[in-house]
Amino acid sequence: MINQNVYIFDIDGTLTPPRQKINKQFASFFASFCEQKPVFLATGSDYKKVKEQITPDIISKVDGIFTCMGNELWVNDEKVYFKELKIPAEVQLWLTGQLYESKYPKEKCGNIHFEHRTGMLNFSVAGRDISKDIRSEYSNWDKISKEREKIVKNFNKLFKHYNLEACIGGEISIDIQKIGSDKGQIFDYLSFYKTKVFFGDKCKPSGNDYSLYQKCEFKFSVDNWLHTSSILKNIT
């Protein structure tokens, strides 16, 4: 066992604004932090999206990047392992039905609602190809309507027999994976560290950070990257 803290960071909403690049000043500070501490990133996104948001300097300094809810691990730009997931037709059809039942204006929705990633499916009623402004609008609408929360709750009742579970993803989506193949598995991969310290923004029971947040010995539920930055400055 390594008698040292390991730091694990979600990306969207924790190190960056949702689906946007990391702030330049914060990136410089965070890169320095990564030089001094063992650091892993943990995201529901795929590796391509990580590279769009996180600077090469940070990527070169972290010890590893868990993508697709921990179903992939990347170290030094190489994929160390990956898990696959096959979604039953019944599940795909039910999710398609949710698109038609949604009360969110159809004319504002995009066309890409399903994104199959390693070991998981990312589903979005609003669509992954909508503009930044519409993303924010849907996110605010969802906070009032609780649409994603309701879909997650119903999904987890209906499809437990497939060993599948859903949770709220980033700003507009839902993450679906095998039960136990969520971010919580990252804790087990890093069990050789004495203490795991986690930073995430979706740490409530329906959020995709919750399982890892629950397990870690020390954890911070943050509001945004500025909140993360202020905490880290007290640590360093």
Catalytic residue annotation: 10, 12
Can you tell me the distance from the alpha carbon of 178 to that of 17, in angstroms, rounded to the nearest whole number?
27
Beta-bridged to residue 167, according to DSSP, are 175
Q: Rounded to whole angstroms, what are the CA distances from 4 to 92, 165, 193?
A: 43, 33, 6
Q: How many CA atoms lie within 13 A of 71 on its CB side?
A: 22
- The DSSP string of 125-191 is SS-TTS-HHHHHHHHHHHHHH-HHHHHHHHHHHHSGGGTEEEEE-SSS-EEEEETT-STHHHHHHTT
